[in-house]
A and B are shown apart, each in its own frame.
Chain A
Amino acid sequence: MAVLRPAGEFDTSYASDMATIRQRWQWWLLLAFVVALYALPFYASQSVVALVNRIGITIIAVQGLNLLTGYTGQISLGQASFMTAGGYISALLVNNLGWPFFAAMPAAALGAGIVGLLFGLPSLRVKGFYLTMATLAAQFIIPWFTRNAFPKVLNGAQGINVQVPVLFGIEFNTPQRYIYLTLTVLILTTIVAHNISRSRLGRAFVAVRDHDLAAELLGINLFKYKLQAFFLAAVYAGIAGSLAAHQIRHINSETFNLIDSVMFMGMLVIGGLGSNLGPIFGAIVVEMLIEGATLFGPLFISLFPSTAAGAVQALRPLFFGAALMLFLIFEPRGLAHRWQLFKAAWRLRPFSY
């Protein structure tokens, strides 16, 4: 589909043709949106703020997965394990070495990135299904490591308690405060993801995804770019893991587990693979669904009083599974694609072509 531009607006330079935000009103709209997000604690209830906070952290993890799976085409089921790595690294740096959180989080990102790099090494030899299996290994090895290695430091299966981040004497100890951290990091990761997707790096990623043979024969070093994708995905996971661990104030081997990895993949499919809006749409929709399942619970019990509370727990995976199936059947390219179609239809109004 060709890109539709509003009538009467002409570009006079390549820079303006390539620009993301093209009109003044778009800047204002963006500004208003960001201000509305930052002002959230002033007009929304604590549970809404906590939900937005959780969605924000999830989006960061899914953005990383999108770089690896959506753009580079390497399906990974290890994203949550890299969150574990990032969470532990940042927790240990703060707890044991007394680092401030704002130094520990970048270090955790880098550390998780290096762990991701290691688990990306099989991509030299295997691809597709087999590579997915190799990434699954990360999901078993890393939690096993945290349970069994260095019991004095990592405290085995019990996990460790994590301190609250402090900046300029402000303790980020409530969702209303923590959300400023999450939003700021989220804006940065979104800008970075967008820059990657429109630059030389992003084009190389998509080339690897769409036709690895042609990419290699036309000058792209496959292994180098696959590894960079694994690294970046794990960096994003490390950031998300660090943010989540410091918010929950605890981390153990099961804080981020295989189910989370699968959920991230599901969010990406629902949102749209290989689109920067995909992770945002996907994480919002799935988290809202899960929240909806929680709200639906009491109603469910009043309708079927004989069922145990366990049935309510089962509602979440049921909602998620049903949503995923429906999307795969009716909108396999995700909400981001639907959004493109909607924008095109809006620009073409009142004509249909």
Chain B
Amino acid sequence: MTTDRIQLRVDNISLSFGGIQALSDISFDVRKGEILAIIGPNGAGKTSLLNCFNNFYHPDHGQILLDGRDLTRLPPYRIAQLGIARTFQHTALYTGLSTLDNLMAARHIHMKAGMLASILYWGRAHQEDIAHRRVVEEIIDFLEIEHIRKSVVGALPHGLRKRVELGRALAMEPRLLFLDEPMTGMNQEEKEDMARFILDVYERQGMTILLIEHDMGLVMDIADRIVVLNFGQKIAEGTPEEIRNNQAVIDAYLGKAGVK
């Protein structure tokens, strides 16, 4: 599935908060149709890097190119419209809305109804809602969350919320999907379910996925390539096999016993 075409190019990104250097001169490429994992100890700058891709943090210098287009000057909502969707380390759902409406809210970028059409909610706006409902129902079906379709997500348990959040990102039909620790706080069974969903998305839709995760066994299993960060610097990049045997990574993160 992995192709050689570069979809996202990260070119020499640096980010600092006051005196703290969060990221220094990070460069790597994300190829179209691959699962790229970013790993590293806590505080290594993984989430900061994702926030740079969304231009929520503005890098001090460097470029981020999505299919050749620089993202560092665009407002975050424009970047989402270009086809980048993400989930959050600490789930960031719209807690007052139902599962269905959370996914419908993600269809925002594909819908056209303006203020007047919404107010009238007659004819086109109504038809549009129905058409997008159809798309959303397919995702609900795929993620097996039919039973909580109309539940307010604020009342859902953590595992389901994570799944709804994945659904919300998928509802945006992105070109590039960022998953920021999609399996934190889950038990083994839930993790396996989530891994299955991620692989399904990847295989069926050929979506490029960028994954941050701490469960090494899982990352080694599903990632095509891995980038390792430590103290804001890229210390390694390569296939799971290469990373497993990389001395710098073993010292910084994996430890002696490592992953066998």
Contacts and interface: CB of A to CB of B under 8 A. Distances in A.
A133 B131 CA distance: 42
Interface stretch (A42-50, A147-155, A206-214, A314-322): A206-214
A221 B106 CA distance: 13
Instruction: Kindly state the interface size class of chain B when it binds its partner.
Output: 35 or more
Interface string B60-96: 0000000000000001110111000110100011111
B80 A14 contact: no
Contact of A211 (B94, B98, B109, B126): B94
B56 interface: yes
Interface in B1-26: none
Given A203-B105, A206-B105, A214 B120 contact: no
A200 B114 CA distance: 8
B196 interface: no
B80 A1 contact: no
A105 interface: no
B97 interface: yes
Instruction: Kindly state the interface size class of chain A when it binds its partner.
Output: 20 to 34
Given A217-B56, A220-B77, A199 B118 contact: yes
B118 A200 contact: yes
A192 interface: yes
A170 B147 CA distance: 56
A203 B117 CA distance: 14
A152 to B, nearest CB: 37
A349 to B, nearest CB: 20
B76 A216 contact: yes
A18 B151 CA distance: 15
Interface in A216-238: 216-222, 228, 232
B97 A18 contact: no
Interface string A1-16: 1110000000000110
Interface of B: 54, 56, 75-77, 79-81, 85-86, 88, 92-98, 101, 104-106, 108-109, 111, 113-115, 117-121, 125-126, 128-130, 133-134, 137, 148, 150-152, 155, 168-169, 172
Interface of A: 1-3, 14-15, 18, 192, 195-196, 198-204, 206-207, 209-211, 213-222, 228, 232, 274
10 contacts: A200-B128, A201-B115, A203-B105, A206-B96, A207-B94, A210-B96, A211-B94, A216-B76, A218-B168, A222-B77
